[in-house]
């Protein structure tokens, strides 16, 4: 759960954090008995506990399909990520990976730790994949083929323009959005979303990850990594030495849910942005990146508003709210270049707990866009564009007619702290009473 200091500062976070902790333990116990499925779900919890938690709300067949989709792309990424594999060996494997998933005798030893186990025991994933319905298998095969080809392409291609950046993000995250839409449709629960909207769902999450993870990536050992496109950073930095680019996975579902795999650049000179004397230029570059990401927000709102199933809706909505919340925190914030900027765990737990309807999504997007708008400096070179995109988001949220029907849990008031603290005390007393009552007969 969250730290004691954070809980004392935000006592209203306690109950959502407690519920999240209980749900996580419950999810870890829901491991199927069949050996290949037991391996897949156990591996899922090892490589992404958050994702293992999120998919539990999906129906059994769709949950199995999404689990295998995730593990197949994880395995594909593990091959791409292993720098010990020569390009001559790696590219053919990436290009043929969509065929390997049908072969339960195929495996390829690479990666480290749990990823090596995944690759060495890949026959379990193949066997589980073969158990899926034909619609699920076709969707997973198609996305795996297209992503493998995209990875192979960007091994030797640099991200220069914003178009390159969008193409790269399409391969590593937009295709995940397309794949999930295909799986939702194959389940019979949803109409097939357009490729454009599905792509934006992935790009919004991926670009948020790239912005948030600047310092982690630039300090990567043995080589620093940079995923910001030259067309943007060159407006603020004079020189950037790039030796190569390739795709390396991050696979972060913010949520917890979509998989992300950023491209890599060796860029030691770009580390200057993290120093105090360059903070003004650094923040302008950062704000430019955030503004670029915001262009996808309206598509995301449209995609989510078209969903019918409550479980699928929550599965998609939670990471999108986390994304715009993270962008609001990162915007105009020099801490991005010096430390970790992320939503506190208590607020994350509240988003997971309380996101149930589209009115919750509109409310969260409106609140976070207001927070972001309040941080826009009129002297910023991108201020006009940033404000225009934020106002477009707010207009969509207002036109939904639902903003007055929800309680804001994103922008909080201090007045709620006392009542929340009282509620927590009652919860603790109730738990203590239940414990003592259950143990009383044994002590007599």
Stronger pLDDT, 349 or 123, i.e. the higher one: 123
Phi, psi (deg, nearest 5) at residue 263: -80, 160
pLDDT score for 427: 66
Choose among 106, 140, 100: nearest CA to 123: 106
How many residues in the chain? 444
pLDDT at 358 over 90: yes
Q: What is the mean pLDDT of the chain?
A: 81
pLDDT in tens, 201-218: 999 999 999 998 877 766
pLDDT at 169 over 70: yes
pLDDT score for 353: 82
226-235, 289-298, 317-326: which has the highest mean pLDDT? 289-298
pLDDT at 329 over 80: yes
pLDDT at 267 over 80: no
Mean pLDDT within 435-439: 60
Domain covering 221-238+269-408, topology: Farnesyl Diphosphate Synthase (1.10.600)
Q: What is the DSSP string of 11-29?
A: GGGHHHHHHHHHHHHHHHH
223 alpha carbon, distance to own chain's centre: 24
pTM of this prediction? Answer: 0.82
What's the CA dihedral at 380, 384, 390, 393 to 10 degrees? -160
pLDDT score for 13: 62
pLDDT at 257 over 60: no
pLDDT score for 266: 43
pLDDT above 70 as % of the chain: 73
Per-residue CA distances from 136 to 65, 83, 337, 377, 421 (Å)? 6, 31, 41, 47, 47
Helix (H, G, I), strand (E, B) or coil at 159: coil
Dist CA 384 CA 376 (whole Å): 9
Dist CA 390 CA 395 (whole Å): 9
Query: Where do the structural domains in the chain lie, given as residue ranges?
Result: 221-238+269-408
Dist CA 380 CA 288 (whole Å): 9
pLDDT score for 344: 73
pLDDT at 240 over 50: no
Q: Which residues are catalytic?
A: 168, 212, 225, 315
Mean pLDDT within 8-18: 64
- Residue 351 — very low, low, confident or very high, per pLDDT cuts 50/70/90? confident
pLDDT at 416 over 60: no
pLDDT in tens, 113-142: 999 999 999 999 999 999 999 999 999 999
pLDDT in tens, 372-415: 999 999 999 999 999 999 999 999 999 999 888 666 766 654 44
């Amino acid at each position: 759960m969250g730290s004691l200091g954070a809980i004392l500062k935000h006592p209203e976070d306690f109950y959502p954090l407690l519920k999240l902790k209980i749900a996580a333990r419950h999810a870890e116990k829901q491991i199927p008995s069949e050996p290949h499925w037991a391996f897949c779900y156990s591996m899922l919890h090892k490589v992404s506990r958050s994702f293992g938690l999120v998919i539990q709300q999906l129906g059994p067949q769709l949950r199995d399909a999404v689990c295998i989709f995730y593990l197949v792309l994880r395995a594909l990424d593990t091959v791409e990520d292993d720098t010990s594999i020569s390009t001559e060996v790696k590219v053919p494997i990436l290009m043929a990976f969509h065929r390997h998933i049908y072969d339960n005798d195929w495996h390829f030893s690479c990666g480290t730790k749990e990823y090596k186990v995944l690759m060495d025991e890949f026959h379990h994933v193949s066997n589980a994949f073969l158990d899926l319905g034909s619609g699920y298998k076709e969707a997973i095969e198609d996305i795996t083929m297209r992503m493998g080809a995209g990875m192979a392409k960007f091994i030797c291609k640099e991200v220069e323009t914003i178009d390159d950046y969008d193409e790269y993000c399409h391969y590593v995250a937009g295709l995940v959005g397309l794949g999930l839409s295909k799986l939702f449709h194959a389940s019979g629960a949803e109409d097939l979303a357009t490729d454009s909207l599905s792509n934006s769902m992935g790009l919004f999450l991926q670009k948020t990850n790239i912005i948030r993870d600047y310092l982690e990536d630039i300090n990567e050992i043995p080589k620093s990594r940079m995923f910001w496109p030259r067309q943007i950073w060159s407006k603020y930095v004079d020189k950037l030495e790039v030796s190569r680019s390739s795709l390396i996975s991050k696979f972060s579902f913010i949520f917890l849910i979509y998989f992300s795999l950023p491209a890599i650049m060796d860029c030691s000179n770009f580390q200057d942005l993290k120093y105090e004397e360059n903070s003004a230029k650094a923040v302008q570059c950062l704000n430019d990146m955030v503004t670029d990401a915001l262009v996808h927000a309206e598509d995301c709102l449209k995609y989510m508003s078209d969903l019918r199933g409550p479980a699928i809706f929550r599965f998609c909505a939670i990471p999108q709210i986390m994304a715009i919340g993270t962008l609001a925190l990162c915007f105009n914030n020099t801490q991005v270049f010096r430390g970790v900027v992320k939503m506190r765990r208590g607020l994350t737990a509240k988003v997971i707990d309380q996101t149930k309807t589209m009115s919750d999504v509109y409310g969260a997007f409106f609140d976070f866009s207001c927070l972001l708008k309040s941080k826009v400096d009129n002297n910023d070179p991108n201020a006009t564009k940033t404000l225009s995109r934020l106002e477009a988001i707010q207009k969509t949220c207002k036109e939904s007619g639902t903003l007055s029907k929800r309680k804001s849990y994103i922008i909080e008031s201090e007045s709620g702290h006392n009542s929340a603290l009282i509620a927590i005390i009652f919860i603790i007393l109730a738990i203590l009473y239940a414990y003592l009552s259950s143990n009383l007969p044994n002590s007599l």
